[in-house]
Chains A and B, each alone.
Chain A
Amino acid sequence: MERACPAGARLGTGADALDGSAPHFVAYPTSTAEVAAAMRVAASHGLAVVARGAGTKQDWGAPPERVDLVLDLAQMAGVTEHVSGDLVASVKAGTTLAALSEVLAGAAQWLPVDEVVPGSTIGGVVATGLSGPLRYGYGAVRDLPLGLTLVRADGAVVRAGSKVVKNVAGYDLAKLFTGSYGTLGVMTELTFKLAPVPPCRLFVTASYQGPAEAAPAISALVRSQAAPAAIELDRALPEAPLEVSVLVEGRPRPAEQRAAQVAALMGGAEVSPLAPPWWASLPGPATFKLTAALSRVPALVDAASKASADLQARLWGSAGAGVLYLGLPAGPAELAALLPKLREAAAQAQGYATLLRAPRASKAGLDIWGPVPGIELMRRVKERFDPTRSLAPGRFVGGI
C-alpha cells in the first residue's frame, strides 16, 4: 500500500471509524494513478474499500459490513481545468465546494450546488447525490456533471462522458455514479457545466400558520412565470409557523420586479438580499429524507409534523422540488417508531422516506433505505461493477 501511495499510507485508528467500523488501513493517494494502484492492491488482498473526502458523511447510509481500507482523497484536490469561455470546469474529487467556489468566482462563474453540509467535497456531494435549494432553478446534483474519471474495483481507470456541454456518446455513467455511495467505483475527477454568478439575489420570505395555509402560495409559486431559483420551506416543529422563502436571481431591476411579483403571490412577504438563517442547513443529528409529488408536499409536511410532534424536530426542504429533511435528536426508540410512520406518509405522497444519517447505535436494526423499485436490477448492476463486493459493502439500498 505504501508503494501504491507514496504520499502516505498508514494503519487505521478509531478516529477513522466509519459508522463504528475502524479500517485496518488508510491511504492518501494524490493522483488517479495512485488510486488505481491502491485499488489493485486492495483487490489482490480482498480488502473492502471506502473512499473518503472530508469525512463529513461518515454516518450516512447503512453501516458498512466491513471496512479494510479507507482511501482518503483530501489530497486529490484542485481545479484541473477551467475554461470560462465554455462555462466548463474539471475538478478533482477531493476538492471542497468552498475551494471550488473561490477559483470559479474569479471569472464570475459558479457551480450551482449548495453546501448543505459544511466542508463537503465535490466527490462526496456527487456520491451522495446531495442537492440543496438551487436544484429547483439549476437542476439537482445529478444534472450537473458532463463527464468523469473513475477507478473500478479492479483498478481499471475509466473515462465516461466528455468535457463539452453537449454529448450523447456512450452511456451516462455520471448519472449512474451520482448517489451511488461509492459502491460502484471511486470517482477521482469530474467535469461540470457552470453557470454565471447572478448579479443580484433576493430572498422573499413569508410566514404561515401551517401547511394548509401555505399550500395555495406554494402551488402558485410552482406554476408562476417569475422563474425562481429556489422555493424552500422550514419549520421548527411542532408549533412554530411554517416559513416559505423564495430565491429570485438575475439582473437587479428585473429581479426586484420579480421579487415583488413573488411577494404578491405569497400574500405579502419580506424581500431581503440576505438568506433566512435556516437556508441550506441540513437539520439533524438524525436526519430523515422525505420525497413527495409537488401537490402533496403540504400533506407530507402535516404528516411529518404530527408524527414527530413531541420530538423537538426541524423540518426543512424544497417545496418546489418535493424533497424534505426532518432532523431531530433521537435515540433508537424514537427513530424506530418514527420511520414506519414517515415511510407511510411519504408513500401517500408518492415519494419515499429514508433515514439519511444517524449515529450507528441509533439506527442499528432499522431498515434505513426501505423498499426500492428496480432493486433486483440494481443488484445486477452492482454485481457487474463489483463482483467481489469490495466497495462499501452493505452501505446502500437492499444490502448492496
Chain B
Amino acid sequence: MEQAAAALRRLLSPDALVTDPVELATYECDGLTNFRARPALAVLASSTHDVQTVVSTCARFGVPFVARGSGTGLSGGSVPVAGGILVVTTKMRTVLEVRPDDLRAVVEPGVTNLDVSRASAPSGLFYAPDPSSQQVCSIGGNVAENSGGAHCLKYGFTTNHVTGLEVVLPTGERTELGGVAPDTPGYDLVGAFVGSEGTLGVATKVIVRLLPLAESVQTLLAAFYDVDSAGRAVSAVVAAGLVPAAIEMMDALAVSAVEAAVRCEYPSGAGAVLIVELDGPEAEVAEGLAEVRQICEQEGAFELRVALDATERARTWRGRKAAFAAMGRLSPSYIVQDGVVPRSALAEVLHEVEELSAKAGIKVANVFHAGDGNLHPLVLFDEQVPGEAERAEELSEAVLQLCIARGGSVTGEHGVGLHKLGAMCDMFGPEDLATMHLLRRAFDPEGICNPGKAVPTPRLCGEPPRARKGAHPLQEAGVAEIF
C-alpha cells in the first residue's frame, strides 16, 4: 500500500489526492450508512487517464480499490475497502457530446442523471431512467447499479439505454465496449457490465440512448379505502392492455408521513393512494387516461384527481418522492427494504407483511412500484427501545424471504452491495454464484476491483446464520465495520 501511495503521489497532481483522515471520513459509507470503512487514500479523478493511473497502480501493487460516484447508493456498494484505495469520479462531470440526430449522448461518469436530460432537452430529447435521487446520483453509479426509477415500468432500466462504454479494467487496461450503433459484434459485454456494481472495472465514458420527449403526460391520483381495492385496480389496468409510464402506491401509514412532511394534500381517509402516469402521443394518452379513470372508479376509488398542469403534477409526485425522507415524522429510525414479488402476488404479500409486522410489534409503511411488484417496506423502529432495532432487522430480512418464496428478487433497484450478500445465498445456488464468479474473474483475475461486493463467495454462503449479536463476517475480514 505504501508503495502504491508513493507511486500515486508521483504520478498525480497533489490536489487529486485525499489523505487527511477528517476528509476521508466523508467517503466512509454511501447512502446506507450501516457499513463504513476508511480507505487509506482517495483519488479525485479528473480524467480517464487519472482513473487508469490509479487502477494500474493498484494492479501493479495488488492493492484493492473501489470506485465511487455521488455516494447515494443504498446497499453499501461503494463502501471502501478498509486501508484500500477509493477512486472518486465526481469531478468527471462533463457532458462530452449530445448527438440529437443519432439519439445519443456521450457523458463522463460523474455527470448527474438529471444533467443528461437537461443537456438533451433543447433538442426535444430526454434520458429515460429516472431514479428518485436523479438530481445527485451519477451516471457511472447508474451504470453500476442498473438503476431504474419510477418510469421503468414503461421505459426499462439503465441497461436498456446504454449502447457503449469506455472502461478501465481491473488490470489497468482501457477498453471500449459497444459503441454508438447497436449490435456491436461479439459478446454483449456492455450488457454484462451494466449492473455489475463496480466489480468489473470503472466506466470512464458512457454512451447513452436518448428518446424524444413524450407529446403528452397525464398524471392521475386515485384514493382507495384499502390496499386491496387499489391492487385490483392495478391488475385491471394491466389486463386492459394499458402500459402506463408509472404506477406507484402508498399505504395509509406512508401517506400520513408525507402529509406531515410536505403537505401534498393527498385525500384524507385513504387506505391507499395510487399515482398513475401515462405518457406518449396525445390521443393515445387521452384514451388511456379515460380507461384508467373508469377502472379506478369501478374498483371503488373515492376520489380521483388529474393534474391539470406541470405544477399540479409536481405536487402529486412530491408526496411519493418525499416518502422515504418523511419516515422521520413517524419514527426516529427506519430501514428501507427493497424486494420484488410477481406483481399479481402483491396484495397477498402485503397482507403477509402486515401479519409479520403485527407479530413483531413493529410498524411498516409501504411505498411501492405497484406496476412491477417492487416493494419498499419502510420498517420503523426506535433504537432507544430495547430489542426494537433487532426486531426491525429481522422483519426486514423476513420480507426478503417472502420475496424469494414467491419467486421474486432480493433487490429490484438498490443492488446487492454489502447489504444483500446473505440474501444472494438464498436466492441463488452454489453453481449459479460460481458462474457469476467466472465472469468476474475474466475481468478481474486478481480480485482487486470492489472485492467482497455484489456476488458472495462460496465461503460466505457457507457461514452459519449470523448470530444476532455476533460480528458480520465482513467485519471479521476487516473489510467493513457496522455502526
Contacts and interface: CB of A to CB of B under 8 A. Distances in A.
Interface of A: 83-88, 108, 129, 131, 135, 139-140, 142-143, 152, 156-160, 162-173, 175-176, 178-180, 184, 195-199, 219, 222-227, 250-251, 253-255, 257-258, 261, 289, 291-295, 321-323, 349-352, 354, 369-370, 372-378, 380-381, 383-385, 396-398
B333 to A, nearest CB: 25
A180 to B, nearest CB: 6
A164 B407 contact: yes
B160 interface: yes
Interface of B: 99-104, 124-125, 145-146, 148, 152, 156-157, 159-160, 169, 175-192, 194-196, 212-215, 235, 238-239, 241-243, 280-281, 283-284, 286-288, 340-344, 369, 372-374, 407-416, 420, 423-424, 427-429, 431-436, 438-443, 454-455
A353 to B, nearest CB: 9
B191 A384 contact: no
A291 B416 contact: no
Contacts of A374: 175-177, 186, 189
A378 B435 contact: no
Nearest to B152: A166
Contact of A227 (B104, B284, B286, B432): B284
Contact of A373 (B177, B241, B340, B436): B177
Contacts of A163: 342, 407-408
Contacts of B188: 129, 142, 175-176, 178-180
B439 A176 contact: yes
Given A168-B415, A196-B243, A381-B442, A253 B287 contact: yes
A368 to B, nearest CB: 10
Given A164-B373, A169-B409, A173-B192, 17 more contacts: A85-B239, A166-B340, A168-B157, A168-B415, A169-B428, A173-B436, A175-B192, A176-B192, A254-B283, A257-B281, A258-B284, A291-B181, A294-B101, A369-B185, A377-B175, A384-B441, A385-B438
B283 A167 contact: no
A369 B436 CA distance: 27
Of the listed residues B146, B188, B213, the one surrounded by the most CB atoms of chain A closer than 10 A to its CB is B188
A292 B99 CA distance: 14
A158 B287 contact: no
Contacts of A170: 416, 424, 427-428, 432-433, 436, 454-455
B412 A295 contact: no
A148 B454 CA distance: 19
A166 B432 contact: no
A225 B407 contact: no
Nearest to A85: B344
A143 B284 CA distance: 24
B189 A378 contact: yes
Given A227-B280, A250-B284, A258-B281, A178 B156 contact: no
Contacts of A143: 156, 159-160
Given A159-B428, A168-B195, A372 B284 contact: no
Contacts of A83: 342, 344
A378 B428 contact: no
Of the listed residues A160, A291, A352, A374, the one surrounded by the most CB atoms of chain B closer than 10 A to its CB is A374
B186 A168 contact: no
Contacts of A254: 281, 283-284, 286-287
Contact of A397 (B157, B181, B185, B343): B185
Contacts of B410: 169
Given A87-B238, A170-B455, A293-B102, A378 B181 contact: no
B431 A167 contact: no
User: Top 5 nearest A-B pairs by Cβ distance?
Assistant: A175-B191, A196-B241, A254-B283, A85-B344, A351-B181
B192 A323 contact: no
Contacts of B152: 166
Given A85-B235, A168-B145, A178-B191, A322 B181 contact: yes
A206 B228 CA distance: 50
B186 A372 contact: yes
A129 B287 contact: no
Contacts of B287: 251, 253-254
Nearest to A356: B185
A168 B410 CA distance: 8
A339 B171 CA distance: 35
A79 B150 CA distance: 30
Given A86-B373, A397-B186, A164 B241 contact: no
A8 B442 CA distance: 36
Contacts of B169: 377
B288 to A, nearest CB: 8
A372 B184 contact: yes
